[in-house]
């Protein structure tokens, strides 16, 4: 068993996955654990699901914690990161996955809709990354992986607020990549297309026939890319499109 742990590429690293209780976040958290990382997940509403993921991480022989946190609130982010430091040590890998999707047309959207989606999807990624950076910079090793969307590139079906928040993720990624490259820290985005998750199920316009490969993607296909980025120190500033050919990249 000791020999097996030694060979795992992320052994000794601590990962934080936001929105890790279900869907893409759950798949990424478990895949990082399988690659050797200890994993903390934060959740906003579904405590039972989050604890199931924590238990799955532990069943893989890794340390795992689940903490309540609204990523749009700086005080909660700071408290969660401090808790992770106490339980698992400094954060090496951040996966900004937490997000909400409220379907609104341009005629329906309100200022409140805009503010809520931008606060969770974009401001949350900023707050979590900023809180996690001191440990990465101290170690001169880090990975920032943020989940964008094909909507950032083609507009999508959810609404302008969602598309703008996911486009912002790409801009944020470019900034971190440019200014942290010489400190051993990479920053990349993943832009999924239509993925078979609870969020997609709530969006009736997302249909398999709209995808060139003829099916929805799986959360595990996104997780495989996240693990690749966590293991690779030479890819930075990129947006990896995982969308079944919906957008050529």
Instruction: Measure the CA–CA gap between 47 and 60, rounded to whole angstroms.
Output: 20
What are φ and ψ of residue 65, in 5° steps?
A: -135, 155
218 neighbors 196 (Cβ within 8 angstroms): yes
Angle at CA of residue 220, ends 135 and 45, nearest 5°: 65
- For residue 163, which phi and psi values (nearest 5 degrees)? -60, -45
Q: Which residue has the tokens 């920053």?
A: 187
Q: Any idea which residues carry the catalytic annotation?
A: 162
Q: Which residue has the tokens 């820290």?
A: 185
Contact residues for 136 (Cβ-Cβ < 8 A; gap 6+): 90, 91, 92, 142, 183, 185
């Amino acid at each position: 068993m000791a020999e097996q742990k030694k060979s795992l590429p992320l052994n000794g690293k601590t990962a934080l996955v936001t929105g890790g209780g279900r869907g893409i976040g759950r798949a990424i958290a478990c895949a990082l654990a399988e690659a050797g990382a200890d994993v903390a997940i934060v959740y906003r509403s579904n405590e039972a699901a989050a604890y199931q993921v924590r238990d799955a991480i532990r069943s893989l022989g890794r340390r795992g914690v689940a903490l309540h946190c609204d990523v749009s609130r700086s005080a909660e982010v700071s408290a969660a990161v401090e808790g992770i430091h106490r339980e698992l040590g400094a954060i090496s890998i951040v996966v900004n996955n937490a997000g909400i999707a409220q379907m609104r047309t341009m005629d329906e959207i309100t200022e409140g809709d805009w503010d809520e989606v931008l606060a969770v999807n974009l401001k949350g990624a900023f707050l979590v990354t900023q809180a996690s950076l001191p440990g990465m910079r101290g170690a001169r090793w880090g990975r920032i992986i943020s989940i964008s969307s094909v909507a950032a590139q083609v507009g999508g079906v959810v609404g302008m607020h969602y598309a703008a928040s996911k486009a912002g993720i790409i801009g944020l990624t470019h900034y971190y990549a440019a200014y942290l490259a010489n400190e051993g820290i990479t920053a990349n985005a993943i832009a999924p297309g239509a993925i078979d998750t609870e969020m997609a199920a709530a969006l009736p316009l997302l249909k398999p026939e709209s995808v060139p490969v003829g099916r929805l993607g799986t959360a595990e296909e996104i997780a495989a890319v996240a693990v690749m980025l966590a293991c690779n120190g030479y890819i930075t500033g990129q947006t990896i499109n995982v969308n079944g050919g919906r957008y050529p990249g």
